[in-house]
Amino acid sequence: MRAFPSDGSEALLSAMAACDADPDSSAWRDLARVVDIAARADPAVTRLWPPYTTGGQSADAAVRRELAEKLSALASRDTATRQALTEWLHHHPCPATTPPPVRPSVPPPAATTNVIRGGSVLHGPSVQARDIHGDIHFHPPASTPPPRLPVPRQLLPVTARFTDREADRRALNALRAQRPTHAPQVLVVSGLAGVGKTTFATQWLYEQASSFTDGQFYADLGGQATDEESGPVSPAVVLEAFLVALGASSVPAGIAQRSALWRSMTSGLRLAVLLDSAFTAAQVRPLLLGTPTGLTVVTSRSTLTGLRIDGASVHRLEGLPADSAVELLAVGGGTRVAREPTAAREVVRLCGRLPLAVALASAQLALRPHRSVSALADSLSRGQGAVATLRVDGEAVMRTALDMSYDILPDESRALYRRMGLLPADRHDLSLLTALADDGQGSRDTGHAADLAVHALVEANLLEETGPGTYRFHDLVQPHARHLGEELENPGRRERTLRCFVDWCLSTAASAESILTPSHRLPGHDLPAETVPPAPLDGPEEALAWLDEHRNNLMGAVRHSARVGWHTSCWRLTDLAWPLFLRLRPSEMWIEAHRLGLEAARRSGTRQGEGRMLTSGAIGLRNAGRYPEAADWYRQALEMATADNDVRQQAQAASGLGHISLLTHRLDEAHDHFEHALRLRESIGYRRGAALSRRRLGETAMAGGDLATAAEQLRRAGTELDSLGETYEATRVLALLGHVLDSGGDRAEGVRRLRDALARFRAGVARSEHWEARCLEWLGQAAESRGDHVESVRHYEAARDLFRRLSPEDAQRLDDRLRQA
């Protein structure tokens, strides 16, 4: 293609004159695009367009000349205008210039007809003749311009059904709007296999089509390299295809030269480029545009951190919102989905809310119109779940996609991935992953190596960072990692991995117990010195937060220990998790863990452990309202303690029986049990236990309406607990005393103590959502008694919201109270 000439205004004017007869011609339409490009450099050029009247008459000669001169002048200083004009003249050249007339040396004859005589021979535009009379005009046939290449529109077709993604659309729009005007823009859409990256990016680019009038390019970088080779597509291959599509007459051999030509030919053009399924930043970098008028969107299972150096912005695509995923499931499931909403939500959960997996599940329902959604949910919950169950033409597509992500990991990351998959855990701390990577070597560099291995898993979107040093698998990734662990790790390695996990749970739970409930420590049962180091816990709030976040891990370790016969680990872990049960009150977990722990203690022959499981487990049964069973556990504990002459344990069991009597409104019986427990504890100098017995006596007096005795017992208990540094127990007594004082008429003092207790339960060593909710309910009662309706409702609603997670029965009671308010 020839460059635009320095005196191009005349050539441009001639070409414009040649197409002047038809204002609707392709030449005029293409020239409109040139004017649009020129207007970016000088908006004033738009006043000269169109150079013809609205009715389609021929262009005004003066306006046409001014337009030609203006465009020519802009071309001399603006690259984009010069390139656009060069391309226009290439496709719409001016006709051959008419040569000046040849003046004869003798006057022509009177006849006006040209005469060529003698042995004249015509050779194209030249004449060989003896005599020529008159003017000669040659009119060679107009050259036919080469066919113009179509504007590239290479994006994949949009899917027939596209669900939601409104938040992701807004996020990409915001990233696009933030780009610097002088720099090319690169957006990376990252996410797990099957999350819908390609579909989303394609849909979004179609919505932006009006901004990219010069074309849209597409390349699948994850496809097969050649017919003979597998693996990522070379950027050299992609560049060749792109350059040919742009009309390059020849393509250089080297990748650097191809990349340079790509940037030159696209300079100033409004292009969108979608680079799909990229593996690395190095694969993408040669394909980047060099012009701020273009946009490159890259999709990848990796976050392509290296592209941030090139100014890329990264947006991580998550699974669909639950409602949108259910809507997608209903495409194939029809009314069955509406009839079984709970099962439908379970299906989309098992599919990880990934569009690909949900669409495959929907297709299964469509294929089997009589199959219930519940049956599908049951099928997906077995074995490897959706990873292996959902297939296309017999291929487990999710399994294949995850295998590809796994295969490109470094060796250390693959090993860690397999070992993590073996764990009955839904949260992973870096301290645990370091222990798993150590493999008993004790190397100083293990922590660094583990961090690198984890980074590669996060980069590949196989692991998600949920907080500082904490990670989780995606729901669909966990079964895949477990399958690889079971398939590729030998039995010895599997056992060492699980032993490491259980020991880490034991050591960290012991650390949390020493911070939150040091008085609960069981003498004579310290963990071995070689136990896996615990996760670092800085203070009571962090300890309680760790127990809350890892409650499922702890329960998984208890279940695994019970299943494989690690009896001591089973009951010790249950016992060490006491602060979790006491503060957070997960009733079902409490009961299950203590049932398993009790059986394990009996199998290991540890009577002390058996007694602890009976008394602690009975509290869980009592809190769940299972009073007869709780009483039976307390009686068994009392019989054991009496036989072993364990006075402290006798008092614990007697106090537990008293509490059940109090809850069932047998107040005299409760008083006798608590008095008995008080005497036993005082006889062995157990001051903390004695203070707790006085607290129970105060509660019993309060239930019987003897508020003066209740206040006296609670004051004595609170003073003793404060002197012992038992902040949590002292705060519980403070709340009870505040409620008693308010109920007895000393409302100002009662409310003051309740508010003080509420603040302590919300933070620090005394943190407890259960007691926070009780304080709020009592403050609501105090406000109601003084006629402050608005304040009482506010407190009741706050208490109800907390109880909904902790105690559905208490939440229902407060709902009933609010309806009556």
What's the pLDDT tens digit per position in 310-361?
Answer: 889 999 999 888 999 999 999 999 999 999 999 999 999 888 888 888 988 9
728, 768 in Cβ contact below 8 A?
Answer: yes
Cα–Cα distance, 38 to 85 (Å, whole number): 9
For residue 226, with 0-12 CB atoms within 10 Å meaning exposed, 13-18 middle and 19 or more buried, which class applies? exposed
**Mind listing the pLDDT tens digit for each residue in 618-658?**
999 999 999 999 999 999 999 999 999 999 999 999 999 99
The Cα 740–Cα 707 span in angstroms is 6
Peptide bond into 50 cis (omega under 30): yes
Evaluate whether 795 touches 776 at the Cβ level (below 8 Å). yes
**Taking residues 194-198, what's their average pLDDT?**
89
Least confident of 107-111, 168-172, 419-423, 592-596: 107-111
| Pure H helices in 460-586 | 477-488, 491-516, 540-549, 551-564, 567-576, 578-584
pLDDT tens figures, 119-166: 545 555 555 555 666 656 555 555 566 566 788 999 988 765 667 788
pLDDT tier for residue 80 given thresholds of 50, 70 and 90: confident
Structure tokens, 705: 């309406």
CA–CA separation, 257 and 133 (whole Å) = 58
**CB-side neighbour CA atoms (13 Å) of 612:** 23
Q: What pLDDT is recorded for position 1?
A: 47
3 state DSSP class of 319: coil
Mean of pLDDT over the chain: 86
Please give the pLDDT value at position 202: 93
C-alpha–C-alpha distance, residues 157 and 464, integer Å: 31
Which CB contacts under 8 angstroms, 24+ apart, belong to 722-727?
A: 724/687, 724/688, 724/691, 726/519, 726/688, 726/691, 727/760, 727/764, 727/765, 727/766
d(CA 600, CA 605): 9
Residue 370 region by backbone torsions, left for phi larger than 0, else alpha for psi between -120 and 50, else beta: alpha
Determine the topology of domain 166-316 in CATH.
Rossmann fold (3.40.50)
**pLDDT, position 614:** 97
pLDDT of 6 strictly over 80: no
**What is the spatial distance between Cα 221 and Cα 244, in angstroms, rounded to a whole number?**
18
Sheet holding 470-473, edge to edge: 428-429, 470-473, 463-467
pLDDT band at 568 (very low <50, low <70, confident <90, very high): very high
For residue 272, pLDDT over 80 is answered with yes
**Per-residue pLDDT tens digits for 593-609:** 999 999 999 999 999 99
Confidence band, pLDDT 50/70/90 cuts, at residue 404:
confident
Per-residue confidence (pLDDT) for residue 91, from 0 to 100: 76
Place of tokens 């680019």: 205
Minimum mean pLDDT range among 139-153, 177-191, 660-674: 139-153
Of the given ranges (144-153, 277-286, 637-646, 812-821), which has the lowest mean pLDDT? 144-153
For residue 744, the SS3 value is coil
Report the helix count and the strand count for the chain, using DSSP H and E.
37, 12
Chain segment 681-697, per-residue pLDDT in tens: 999 999 999 999 999 99
CA distance 144 to 153: 26
Higher pLDDT, 556 or 583: 556
Q: Residue 676 contacts by C-beta under 8 Å, 6 or more apart in sequence?
A: 651, 654, 658
Token duo for residue 531: 């136990």
Which DSSP string corresponds to 72-108?
A: HHHHTT-HHHHHHHHHHHHHSPPPPPPPPPPPPSSPP
275 beta partners: 219, 298
Which positions ≥6 away from 78 have C-beta within 8 Å? 38, 41, 42
Contacts of 195 (CB under 8 A, 6+ apart): 317, 318, 319, 354, 355, 356
Per-residue confidence (pLDDT) for residue 61, from 0 to 100 = 74
24 or 764, which is more confident? 764
pLDDT at 443 exceeding the cut of 60: no
Tell me what percent of the residues of the chain surpass a pLDDT of 70.
88
